[in-house]
């Protein structure tokens, strides 16, 4: 991530090198969620913040609009969104317990 490499506020960053346990909504088993990035940043007030960052396309971040026809594509989108939502809910709590911030970025925030 060029932004991390070239940003003087970034102290350290890593990509998919840790996992957050979560209970899968469909099979009920504990799985591991690997967020995209863990970034340590020094703020302008000399405070070190740790951000857990997930990067997803916008269509996976928004709940699919209900449809009359339950196509295979629609059902896959609903399942993907539900699983992502569970992972993110666990990640938010995991981050709160550690004093971290959990952030989801899409192409909108990344200007892609």
> For a pLDDT cut of 70, what percent of the chain falls above it?
99
Region 7-19: what's the mean pLDDT?
93
The helix or strand, by DSSP H or E, that contains position 26, with its residue range, turns out to be: none
pLDDT per residue over 46-67, tens digit each? 999 999 999 999 888 999 998 8
Which alpha helices (H) appear in the chain, and where do they start and end? 2-6, 58-61, 72-98, 107-110
pLDDT per residue over 23-48, tens digit each? 887 888 999 999 999 999 999 999 99
For all residues of the chain together, what is the average pLDDT?
92
Give the per-residue pLDDT at 72.
94
Give the per-residue pLDDT at 2.
84
Model pTM score: 0.85
Give the per-residue pLDDT at 43.
92
């Amino acid at each position: 991530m060029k932004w991390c490499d070239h940003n003087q506020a970034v102290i350290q960053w890593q990509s998919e090198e840790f996992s957050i346990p979560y209970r899968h909504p469909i099979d009920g088993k504990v799985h591991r969620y690997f967020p995209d990035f863990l970034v340590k940043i020094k703020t302008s007030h000399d405070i070190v913040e740790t951000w857990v960052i997930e990067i997803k396309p916008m269509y996976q971040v928004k709940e699919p609009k209900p449809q009359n026809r339950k196509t295979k594509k629609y059902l896959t989108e609903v399942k993907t969104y539900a699983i992502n939502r569970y992972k993110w809910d666990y990640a938010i709590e995991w981050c709160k317990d550690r004093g971290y911030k959990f952030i989801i970025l899409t192409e909108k925030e990344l200007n892609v």
